[in-house]
Structure 1
Amino acid sequence: MKTIFTSMAIFGSLLSAFGQEIPKDSLEGEKISLDEVLVSAVRVTKQTPVTFSNLSKEQIKPRNLGQDIPVLMNFLPSVVTTSDAGAGVGYTGIRVRGSDATRVNVTINGIPYNDSESHGSFWVNMPDFASSTESLQLQRGVGTSTNGSGAFGASLNILTDAVAEEGYGQISSSVGSFNTLKNNLKFSTGLLNDQVEISGRLSRITSDGYVDRASSALNSYFLQGSFQDNNTLIKALLFGGHEITYQSWNGIDAATLEDDRTYNSAGEYTDENGNTQYYENEVDNYKQNHFQLHWNEKIGSAWNTNLAVHFTRGRGYFEQFKEDDDFATYGLTPITVDGEEVDKTDLIRRRWLSNRFYGTTFSANYIADNLNLILGGGYNKYEGDHFGEIIWAKYAANSNYGDRYYDNSSIKTDFNFFTKANYQLTDQWSLFGDLQYRTVGYTASSEEIGSVDDTFNFFNPKAGVTFDLNRNNNLYFSYARANREPNRNDYESDSPTPEKLNDYELGWRYISYALQLNANLYYMQYKDQLVLTGDIDDVGSFKRANVANSYRAGLELDAKIKLSDKFSVAPNATLSTNKIKDFILDRDGEVKNIGNTNISFSPSIVAGNIFAYAPSENLSFSLLSKYVGEQYLSNTDDRASKLDDYFINDINLVYELEIDGFFKSIVFSGLVNNILDIKYVSNGYTYLDTWSGPNSFEVQGYYPQAGINFLLGASVNF
């Protein structure tokens, strides 16, 4: 450990001379804007011993042509993304350090966004939300205490549009491969009487998808009203979306991957003449609306407080055509037709989810002398209704319109309180402490999970130290403890156990005019980690199971290098090992200790780079590269369940035409994805009936991604 610190210090001292003459490019924090206080309780700066990356509106804008937020984050360190439809529109997923989206805590203006039961974040419910994002911060590892479920791979906090001092209007459109079309309208009144601003956005995105019939029809809105003076900021927000996506979660087998990469079996059935047909409405149809009210008050010179209330309403279903389905599945009794007993029928069903999520979050921040103290927390409640309906059947049996073949409800409460502080001990040393208490209550019932009535109490301490070697270099070390409850699907197995994580982070940061460099070593030690088994359920969600002891350890490197006034490069790389210790496989009563194995969906190498060239202020080119190493779909190191590595490259072009008149400018954007037309697979699933050694697994589904494809856009600003 001492050798590592010494080496970093010597290298940092040599580099510091490179940026010493530029005073503004140092580790000193920047002034926090009035809008940023909304997320100050959950965000960190370079003076905090936490590993993180920031992404600003200016960095998002060039590639914001219709793809989801996970895809726009694809070039951050340790991030791997995937898309069910294959082109980044519709259902998309993200993994950080090998941890899937159910383990990435997401907040919007400090309000929890993860679904309370599944723990997932469904970006398809908020299409084009990137167009209303001011900035986002991805904290890798446990990070600091925040609202919502515990972070077991990362936490992502999003800040929505800041108050605009001057009014503006913007009309944007983009078109691209697979009949992708995006249109949006944004506006702001600017500050009226230097105090009030109203802004908003309307968006619509449609796409056929790369995969057959994997279409998307996505509508969204964002409306914000703000009041501010010297000491007060009040924001009221309404935003939401309505998504209709054709189901594409079935994947394809290896033979089909070779012969027909875009094949989609969803909705497939055989008509009375023996012809293959596809049900036209095999869709996911869901609406989600959010309300947030934030009140920030500055009290004196040292205190500011933030109080927020929120309400989210979600409702929708996915519709399926089922061929020759059993009456018994729906609680129906056989009927007699033309003298013969009938106990199967073709039918169309809808499986509904209707939910409400509401609560409050609060924080108080004290900054004076050498102390930055934050007290915060929140109380949130979730109420969910799960039910199924048959909307058509060839043989209707003894049923009535509106009958439900299952009808379940669930309630989840979540209270947490945290206090965290940064204390500047000397000019070079600062100490960080963070204590959180969280209590969760969950009641639910269904045929799959039985009856659940659980309460969890978690204590999550965190501590760290930062050492400023000089004005350009600092070193940090932190320890964080996290606990996390099972999600709804975990209860389908016998008595899932809450997860526990000890996260150790050791890092070095260097900042100068021409170079920013971050290096980080991490060791994440898990107890009873809920790892993905590789199998999925009948709605495309991955199943999980507890493993007793496991860990993730790695080295993360990322940099921003200014080669000249016109050229810059931003590489990053993660080298990791992700292991289960003495993996116990239990299938059909047969128990095997397979030994130490790799954790599923955890590539040991993930790397990216952005090479940018700006020949003028109005014109820029970027080459974006991403490499993802091979990864296993199971936890047994089975060669048959391995996904190949892949290396893809995109080109991004932006040109701004300035206009002296009513229109201020027109910005043209172009994005060519996968320019080398690589045929790659970013996700898949598998399962195992009985273990009989290597190659016992059979991969059931691959999710192929699109070859070369493009998006072209134009934004008119006035």
Structure 2
Amino acid sequence: MKTVLFAGAALLALATAPAWAQGPVSGTITDARTGEALPGATILLDGAAIGTTSAAGAFNLSAVPAGSHELRITFLGYEPLVRQVRGQGAEQQFNAQLLPGGVLTGEALITASRASDRTATVYTNLSKQDLNKRNFGQDLPYLLDQTPSAVVTSDAGAGVGYTDIRIRGTSSTGINTTINGVPLNDPESHGSFLVNLPDLASSVNSLQVQRGVGTSQNGSAAFGASINISTLDNRREAYAETQNSYGSFNTWKNNVSFGTGLVGKYFTFDGRLSRIASDGYMNKAASDLKSYYFAAGYQNKSTLLKFITFSGREKTYQAWNGVPEPALTGNQAQLQTYLDNGELSAADAARVRQEGRRYSYYTYDNQTDNYQQNHYQLHLSQGLGSDWNLGAALHLTRGFGYYESYRANRKFADYGLQNVVLGGDTLTKTNLVDRKWLDNYFYGGTFALNYQPKDNDKIQATLGGGWNRFDNDHYGEIIWAQYASTSTLGQRYYFNTARKTDFNAYARATWQVLPWLGLYGDAQVRRILYKIDGVEDEQNDVTTRANYTFFNPKAGATIALGHGQQLYGSFAVGQREPVRADFTDRQAGYPPAQAERLNDFEAGYRFTRADLGFLGPRTAVRVEANYFDMTYRNQLVATGQLNDVGTALRTNVARSYRRGVELTGFVAADDKISLSSTLTLSRNRILDYHDVTYDANYAPVVAAEGRTTTISYSPSVVSAHTLEGQPLKGLRVAALYKTVSRQYLDNSTNEGRSINPYQVLDLRLRYALHPSFMKEIELALLVSNVLNREYVANGYTYGYIGVSGQQETFNWYYPQATRNYLGSVNLRF
């Protein structure tokens, strides 16, 4: 209730006192030689295309959000124009001249998949500046925590290591993520494992989060949201900077970034080296993360060619088991139930009593996950006359690594080994250490052909798509055994291969039919061929053949109601295939996994004004209300259980939906103080759901009577609020408040298998100095969980008939860190 009251009060304040503080920016773009107007020049704000110049070369942005932003204007055959603008009440106007010889700046492929006010969809743009002020070394999901409908969690408890983000209750497996238009999601699991790319945020120049199905994307389908990341910035001036953070749990972040600017009129070079390390809040949850980023670009007239490579290597102690519920409650009777049923050993129970909520399930010193991922991208942006441009990319991702585990009392037969005879005794089990490997290649190409007529800014169109192939070997090796039997060094006890081909093509267009009416259309065809051959770790045959063809249409309309007001509505279809675990870990009694379908209706109202001035001469407003109705057929929902590598087990439900409203607002006065707020109220339901329990023989028992239940991991209320002020010149202080209502671990709507609601307050301070010998010295401090709340943000559950003869439930949770600190010193040259 406190969550609703706080969020409601904040949004009521924003409704009566405006919310998105913004100021107008306008101007005229001409040729520096002739003085002639340049119609059709592309206008980008923080990397997102938001319009083109008119036939007279003019542009008008009715509202730019408060704070510093990059305004970029590009035109084929001319140098790009870059200006820093600030959202403020007074209109900013400038007339600029473009110099001949410029090129496309790489946005052709990115803007093809970005949403705008013309696409009738709901989205949030984050600039490099937005990300920098949040970036203390935590993983990218934590930098998106204040965006609408987002819930983040960390296995190690403090945002370093394995993290995840859910948007509208959908985890990263349902969030399409691309980097420069290239898919990042693992083609088999659909997850985006950003732990493999530590400190990626330091190389991002713009990011867009689309909620719902959104626009057509390359890669896996967006079933709750998409995250579109761009690193294709061209910085024409030389620069160097270093960011250094240290804080609680021995957390370190160090990086060095550099750029040559334009070299010899045609070339640019940029790079970054990063290291992040943390012991983690949880015991034995350390992370050792390293990464690099390098880009080399060539530009000449209407051509840009850019090679990018980035890589990450991670070593994390396995914290994906979480902690048993009695470690949080201290309930000794509950702990005894875990002990009696073999869920914990006597030694485990003793450590639960000693370590409490920071308990670690594993004790083996090298119980670690080790993985490296190398990315290679070659991008081409090519002007094709005055009205067309082409963005294309070739890519290769090389991934390899393993996680190592100590296994006690494992049967020789499970590893394809013979029993051992010692004297007169026959041993059927041994203690051993194994490694489970992934060894894969992901490669292919993407393209986007954009039509933006110079003499008609009412029409924009894109034809795009991609072809991608994924080859992945899964295998296990025994590296040590107490009794070796017939094993050899590096004994492989299972091996299977997976091959997946994904082809898609889409066409998209926006048409400003009337000054007050715009139409949007988008259609995608996607074809998937997937096969698995071989056996899994339990010696079960996982041979799979699955082929799918999906047609995903989208359409929308925008209506201008007057100065600063817009209505929009859209309908989109999204379809996607099951993930690998839906095939290989299918539980007995469950039918084969089916493809999912989502019908997504979005409608909203945007109000933007820059001339109200009730808080001062430079006060402006933006308020947005969005209604969403996401109706699913055969949605795959989490059962609450995990497989042995922490992947959620799922089952199809015939009919389900997510419906709700997202309210966002932002108000600022003279860039001295601002308040942003977002509130999501939703209803997430499964219709005619049949509970599954297990009998004394562990056979599933499906309830005969169906009922309406809440979808697992789907809170009905999520809010985020940021109050930021500048009490002294150069000093910015921000308070960030996050609330999340109850989440259920399975689909039973049973509070005994749920995550309690929580509220978290963070405090952030940044102080910038500008001495004469360098661009900037910035000192920053982040205090997380200021109120020192003990809360959890994720978990899982399972149950069966226990030794007592009664149904027993076993809940495991991921505790998040209590009050903790990160301080940083950032130098920019």
Shorter-chain TM-score: what band?
over 0.9
Is it true that 1:342 corresponds to 2:434 in the alignment? Answer: no
Cα displacement (A) at 1:543: 0.9
Which of 754, 765, 774 matches 1:642? 754
Amino acid at match of 2:710: N
Alignment of 1:184-583 (within 5 A): 184-259=255-330, 260-267=355-362, 278-368=363-453, 369=456, 370-445=458-533, 446-447=535-536, 448=540, 450-491=542-583, 492-493=585-586, 494-513=591-610, 514-583=620-689
CA distance in 2, matches of 1:616, 1:140: 37
Structure 1 residues 302 and 700, CA gap change in structure 2 (3 angstroms): same
**1:700 correspondence with 2:811:** yes
Q: 5+ unaligned residues in a row in structure 1: which ranges?
A: 1-10, 268-277
Shift of 1:194: 3.2
Separation (CA, whole Å) in 2 of partners of 1:194 and 1:536: 55
Change (3 A) 1:15 1:201: closer
Residues 697 and 82 (structure 1), Cα distance of their counterparts in 2 relative to 1, 3 Å cut: farther
Deviations 1:444-491 (A, max 9, x none): 033456211111000000000011112411110000001100000001
Kept in 2: contact 1:25–1:511 (CA 8 A): no
Deviations 1:631-669 (A, max 9, x none): 1111011121121100001111111121212x3321111
Task: Give secondary structure in 2 for the equivalent of 1:477.
Answer: strand
1:28: Cα distance to partner?
A: 9.7
Correspondence for 2:177: 106
CA distance in 1, matches of 2:171, 2:241: 35
Preserved contact between residue 573 and residue 600 of structure 2 (Cα < 8 Å):
yes
Query: Corresponding residue for 1:8?
Result: none
User: Is the CA contact (8 Å cut-off) linking 1:236 and 1:291 kept in structure 2?
Assistant: yes
User: Which AA in structure 1 matches 2:173?
Assistant: T
Question: In the alignment, does 2:255 pair up with 1:167?
Answer: no
Q: Residue by residue, what CA displacement relative to the aligned partner does 1:305-325 show, whole Å, maximum 9, x if unpaired?
A: 011000000000000011111
Instruction: Note closer, same or farther for the CA distance 1:90–1:19 as it changes in structure 2 (3 Å cut).
Output: closer
Q: Which one has a bigger Cα radius of gyration?
A: 2
SS at match of 1:640: helix
Please identify, of 153-162 and 614-623, the stretch whose mean Cα deviation from structure 2 is larger. 614-623
Question: Is 1:449–1:489's contact at 8 Å kept on the other side of the alignment?
Answer: no
- Secondary structure of the residue that 2:581 maps to in structure 1? helix
Select 1:670's aligned residue among 770, 781, 785.
781
Q: Secondary structure at the match of 2:746?
A: coil
Provide closer, same or farther for how the CA distance between residues 280 and 14 of structure 1 changes in structure 2, counting only shifts above 3 A.
Answer: closer
Gaps of 5+ in 2: 1-13, 27-59, 66-70, 75-104, 331-354, 611-619, 694-698
- Whether the 8 Å CA contact 2:109–2:447 is kept in 1: the answer is no
Residue 261 of structure 1 contacts residue 704 of structure 1 at CA under 8 Å; is this kept in 2? no
* Distance in 1 between residues matched to 2:498 and 2:779, nearest whole Å: 48
* Kept after mapping to 2: 8 A contact 1:312/1:357: yes
Letter in 2 for 1:397: S
Query: Is 1:621 matched up with 2:733?
Result: yes
Q: CA deviation at 1:362?
A: 0.5
Q: Which amino acid is the alignment partner of residue 627 of structure 2? A: L
Contact 1:110 1:147 in 2 (8 A): yes
The one-letter code sitting in structure 2 at the alignment partner of 1:243 is E
Identity %: 44
CA contact (8 A) 2:107 2:232 kept: no
Partner of 1:271: none
1:654 matched to 2:746:
no
Show the counterpart of 2:745: 633
TM, length-normalised to structure 1: 0.93
Say if 1:329 and 1:164 are closer, same or farther in 2 by CA, change over 3 A: same
Specify which of 793, 799, 812 is matched with residue 682 of structure 1: 793
CA–CA distance in 2 between the matches of 1:654 and 1:589?
A: 55
**595-604 vs 562-571, which moves further:** 562-571
Change (3 A) 1:26 1:449: farther
Question: Which residue matches 1:274?
Answer: none
Q: Show CA shifts across 1:481-520 (max 9, x none).
A: 0110000000132420000010000011122332222110
SS at the partner of 1:37? helix
Superposition deviation, residue 618 in structure 1: 1.7
> CA shift at 1:263, angstroms?
3.6
Q: Which whole-Å deviations, capped at 9, do the CAs of 1:654-697 have from their partners, x for residues lacking one?
A: 11121212x33211111000000010010000023379xxx967
**More deviation, 343-352/256-265:** 256-265
**SS of residue paired to 2:800:** coil
Whichever residue aligns with residue 273 of structure 2, its letter is L
Please tell me whether residue 26 in structure 1 is matched to residue 132 in structure 2: no
| Counterpart Cα distance in 2 of 1:670 and 1:183 | 15
The aligned counterpart of 2:348 is none
| CA apart distance, 1:338 | 2.9
Q: Distance in 2 between the 1:229 and 1:618 partners?
A: 39
The answer to whether the 8 A contact 1:19-1:25 is kept is no
Residues 610-641 of structure 1 deviation map (CA, whole Å, 9 limit, x = unaligned): 11101345211111110001111110111211
Distance in 2 of aligned mates of 1:364 and 1:690? 59
Quote the RMSD (CA, aligned, Å): 2.2
